[in-house]
Chains A and B, each alone.
Chain A
Amino acid sequence: MSTELDDLYQEVILDHNRKPRNFRVLDAARKAEGFNPLCGDRLTVYLRVADGVITDVGFQGSGCAISKASASLMTESIKGKSVADATRMLERFQKMVTSPEPVDDLGKLKALAGVRQFPVRVKCATLAWHTLRAALESPDAVVSTE
């Protein structure tokens, strides 16, 4: 197998694909739906925000390993973070999967850096983050990657 494929399908990605974390509906929460019309991926992100802090987060949906693992890793990374921190993380993540410049402070999210070598899969990796942004900006939103 090629090294690019090894970079893309790292063990942490495969693990989060098999066992997505926070894969649940949060009742009475903010939510946003995200679609990737090209491939039919869809997911819903649920958020609880109190005093500018993300107190709980969940997601549901169907998609490829990259979109599912990315959503799962995202929920782990933003839980307990302030909205401002989560927004900064979102911007750094976008940068990591689209440009070759090194990006710091992303922790486990770095596992998705391999997506950069697969431009057609970048949308899979960013779908959850686009949806998160929509959920942060308005309480009931629908976003599409196209």
Chain B
Amino acid sequence: MTASSKTILDAARIRQDFPILWQRVHDKPLVYLDNAATTQKPQAVIDRMLRYYHEENANIHRGVHALSVAATDAYDAARERLRRFINAAETREIVFVRGTTEAINLVAATYGRSHVGAGDEVVISEMEHHSNIVPWQMLCEEKGARVRVVPITESGELQLEAYARLLGPRTRLVAVTHVSNALGTINPIEEIVRLAHDRGIPVLVDGAQAVAHMTVDVQAIGCDFYAFSGHKVFGPTGIGVLYGRASLLDAMPPYQGGGDMIRSVTFERTLYADIPQKFEAGTPNIAGVVGLDAAIAYLSDVGLDRVTAYEHELLAYGTEALARIEGLRLTGTAQRKAGILSFVIDDIHPHDIGTILDRDGIAIRAGHHCCQPLMARLGVPATARASLACYNTREDIDALVGSIRTAKAVFA
């Protein structure tokens, strides 16, 4: 821990770095509580992307000219920073993709297609986002395999014993989320990986909701794949990372064919490039990569340990404040939670809550959060969800509570 990480995070100072937060919405100060959907971007990220287009724009890995060298250097440096960010063993284990969804689809289409066959099983959990359900369903349908689902408890925790029982001789892969986007549950991911590895089963972790809120160390977790999106960690949309263990990535067939992923091409035979280029066909999202690089640099500067501690406090404050509202029920009350406050209120549909809050300048998400099977399990059609980031404050929570009281008055 560095000296700065011991000091308390100054959210007011951080808010100054996010110009979008300074505006008024419906003539009220914007209260942005939809961070699980996407986070806002600090000026450093916006500036970095502008500078890329102003000064460096060129295609990478092919030009002899100065701009191409600058763009290539920026792109490669970003990969190394991303390696450090999640403590991967090697830089070539970082594959740039469009986002978490593409990362999971990549693994399903390559590792999945070559390892899952008729009668085999892929284990997921009841709290998965559609992006960690549908690719496995598509794969299993194609192969005659089966998706098995780990149940959750009423509070929104994985049932670990049931999970262990689901792991069997036909299990080819476990795909599970690190942090639930709808409930906030932080899963005991090391334990999940250990139980699978004891049986020789690889594990993919959906880290979309984790990376902006806690230090992630893929070697400590021990997972084989780890996926996350740039836009949920203060970076731009359209860029994300798939971490894969080098030995697995090496053995996997390519995902898409095209330029940049080959060593040599003849009409008879193509030799593929080494990892990670093998999985990065075509001109990548270079501006996205340098933007994500700036976002990770920014977050590292703020200090993830401080972010975790600050958000933990804010979550406790919010949980207590919401619990005092009569008729409000929190969905997701796991022991270990990230900053997600998902709730339902008697006789008020989440959409109506969302509309009324919006008129007070408060942005939350209302709906099924791309977790329809989870909503069915919880017996609710939808929830309202306030999700925190390090720039949120107690004042934001107070505004949320005040506006929920307005909604209750409308529907009284």
Contacts and interface: CB of A to CB of B under 8 A. Distances in A.
Interface of A: 1-2, 4-5, 8-9, 14, 17-18, 38-42, 62-66, 68, 118, 120-121, 124
B198 interface: no
Given A1-B410, A8-B355, A39-B351, 15 more contacts: A1-B409, A5-B356, A5-B359, A5-B410, A17-B411, A39-B366, A39-B367, A40-B367, A41-B351, A42-B381, A63-B351, A64-B349, A64-B351, A120-B355, A121-B351
Closest 7 CB pairs of A and B: A64-B351, A64-B349, A40-B368, A62-B381, A65-B352, A39-B367, A40-B382
Contact of B367 (A4, A9, A38, A42): A38
Contacts of A40: 367-368, 372, 375, 381-382
Nearest to A62: B381
B409 to A, nearest CB: 8
Contact of A66 (B352, B375, B381, B411): B352
B406 interface: yes
A14 B356 CA distance: 14
B26 interface: yes
B347 interface: yes
Interface of B: 26, 347-352, 355-356, 359, 366-368, 372, 375, 381-382, 406, 409-411
B284 to A, nearest CB: 30
A58 to B, nearest CB: 20
Nearest to B28: A2
23 contacts: A1-B406, A1-B409, A4-B359, A5-B355, A5-B356, A9-B352, A17-B411, A18-B347, A38-B367, A39-B351, A39-B368, A40-B367, A40-B381, A40-B382, A41-B381, A64-B349, A64-B350, A64-B352, A65-B352, A66-B351, A68-B349, A118-B355, A121-B351
Contacts of A5: 355-356, 359, 410
A68 B349 CA distance: 10
B26 A2 contact: yes
A33 to B, nearest CB: 14
Contacts, number: 54
A8 to B, nearest CB: 7
A51 to B, nearest CB: 37
B351 A124 contact: yes
Contacts of B347: 18
Nearest to A68: B349
B356 A63 contact: no
Contacts of B368: 39-40
Contacts of B349: 63-65, 68
Contacts of A62: 381
Contacts of B409: 1
A18 to B, nearest CB: 7
Contacts of A18: 347
B382 A39 contact: yes
Contacts of A8: 355
A1 B356 CA distance: 9
A143 B349 CA distance: 22
A113 B375 CA distance: 31
Nearest to B351: A64
Contacts of B411: 9, 14, 17, 65
A120 B363 CA distance: 14
A9 B348 CA distance: 12
Contacts of B348: 65
A65 B355 CA distance: 11
A42 B349 CA distance: 13
A20 to B, nearest CB: 13
Contact of A2 (B352, B359, B367): B359
